[in-house]
Structure 1
């Protein structure tokens, strides 16, 4: 109703949840809803190299306390299992005819956009090009980054200490509750903020988490090389390595506490976990108790 009451030339829906529904599961009811109302549909997806994607996904799921496996186990399951990489890593699935029919597809290399312009500026430049091609009124007054300012990102990065503390709390929660119920009941962002505050109060400034060493990194790239190359040639007519050059081995140093933690850092993780975990576990228990039967 709010959309119907406001004049607009451009409507932007940006959500990782929507991305998964559309690009991974091909559930296109939302797309069809807007198509039937006269919208020209453009689907934009920013892509990372496979190891970078796995590292970011692990950070996000763990800091939200929905992942308790070690990074190595997570990567082995997601990318290196006997059945091959999981669907989330199979990029050629993004070229499915159902998606091609749903709207015009735009695939953007995340690393290049971040390095050259920043993600927001790259997206605004693309948006202005789309508006010009579609002949919208916005084409006469190009948008700037300020016009599409985004709220705080929920998938912010974090450091190895936060990963370790969150992983321990997640392990305890997942022993008590099925993962689906935990997702329903927990406020992952507030839990992540609570751990981050505890780390800041300890006077620690963390580096960004990185879980790959050289051997695991190259195994993942090799496992997905054929899939990624087919996608890159189909979309960009260039090789995957030209779009996403591999990291040099000297930059492939894991800082996960399992691989590289000192006794001092592990002791600090013990203290933070002991201080923070009871509060978070109690909050989750209260929220689980308040769930309706239909939500369980």
Structure 2
């Protein structure tokens, strides 16, 4: 089903075009991990006649090229393709490609561009089951403070085809909101596939499959290779149950204080770092009740089967056997067990809010106040606010003539 081989031989002969392979995510399908594996194995890939456009060494970066597609521009593409060795396939990987590849004009422009430079275009996209995907996108968008919704509200919007993001526009393209309905979201790619474009949709991590190996198999690389592994830091870490609860509370506080997430540097790491420093080892968040799971499955069922037939010539349940495990998975969320515990969580959140505000508008006395507040917060979050007020008052008094 996923072994739609890009090429059968390890070298490109004169009678066949080299491939321009675009791995286009989607979002939250281990793209960072895949790209690190590609980076570590670029020499081995080259032996298989594949040049990986490595963002660590090569320009332009794939992200920039995705942006060019959204603006209907070709300059960077033409420069890259004209400098490429014609005896090598060219592989690019960026989840940002999934935005222009939902636009018919972008797909047509890219296919024509590839053909003009003697390439055959091959697009590879990973598909993640909605149950898993919605849960993951909720955590992702919440820890970036895009919203402060409950999980139930987020699922309701997902079913209605609404997606929370800071960026609704990408170049000249309005970003699609129906990201969880693959039949509608990828309709331009499905139509292009019917017209002869090489498009491979890969079910994400079914039966424990390694997504890197799935990608390699799909583009037709020989199986008997010893691929370099990468460290666990290249797996995107998500906050646990307490972290998700705190992210939602902090997002509410940011909105109450009219602090835009665009003004916060590295916002996605704030909750993760707090978890690490406090050594919270919580279970993974899973927000579904039985009723909510059944609601999601029922809503997407018909379109999922249409998509599976177009993508793989099979049913959705055949493509996603692991959905059975997700249906059996128990709800896993955090709720404070006492008033004192809730007060502690609120105190930690206020501490994070103050640190964010201080970084946006730094003042000299914050260099003393912030470390003291952090120490007090760790020792006893409930007294940290009293401590900081006391220190701040005395620092201001010392500064008076």
Q: TM-score, normalised by structure 2?
A: 0.56
> How much is the aligned-residue C-alpha RMSD, in angstroms?
3.6
* Post-superposition offset of 1:41: 1.4
Counting matched residue pairs gives 263
Q: Secondary structure at the match of 2:202?
A: strand
Q: Secondary structure at the match of 1:88?
A: coil
Where does residue 279 of structure 1 map in the other structure? Answer: 355
Q: Larger relative contact order (C-alpha < 8 A, sep ≥ 6)? A: 1
* Post-superposition offset of 1:20: 2.6
Larger radius of gyration: 2
Counterpart pick for 2:247 among 163, 166, 173: 166
User: Quick one: distance in 2 between partners of 1:60 and 1:125?
Assistant: 29
Flag the 1:198–1:218 CA change in 2: closer, same or farther, 3 A.
same
User: Quick one: distance in 2 between partners of 1:37 and 1:282?
Assistant: 52
* Post-superposition offset of 1:171: 2.6
Is contact 1:55-1:211 (8 Å) kept? yes
Where does residue 88 of structure 2 map in the other structure? Answer: 9
Q: Secondary structure at the match of 1:38?
A: coil
Q: Secondary structure at the match of 1:44?
A: strand
Where does residue 203 of structure 2 map in the other structure? Answer: 109
User: Quick one: distance in 2 between partners of 1:51 and 1:37?
Assistant: 41
Where does residue 255 of structure 1 map in the other structure? Answer: 332
Where does residue 282 of structure 2 map in the other structure? Answer: 206
User: Quick one: distance in 2 between partners of 1:272 and 1:120?
Assistant: 39
Q: Secondary structure at the match of 2:272?
A: helix
Is contact 2:239-2:271 (8 Å) kept? no
List runs of 5+ in structure 2 lacking aligned partners: 1-58, 61-79, 163-176, 363-401
Flag the 1:174–1:13 CA change in 2: closer, same or farther, 3 A.
farther
* Post-superposition offset of 1:191: 2.6
Q: Secondary structure at the match of 1:87?
A: coil
Map Cα deviations across residues 74-112 of structure 1 (whole Å, 9 max, x no partner): 110111579xxx521221232436543593110111131
Where does residue 117 of structure 2 map in the other structure? Answer: 37
User: Quick one: distance in 1 between partners of 2:346 and 2:255?
Assistant: 19
Where does residue 180 of structure 2 map in the other structure? Answer: 89
- Are residue 242 (structure 1) and residue 324 (structure 2) matched? no
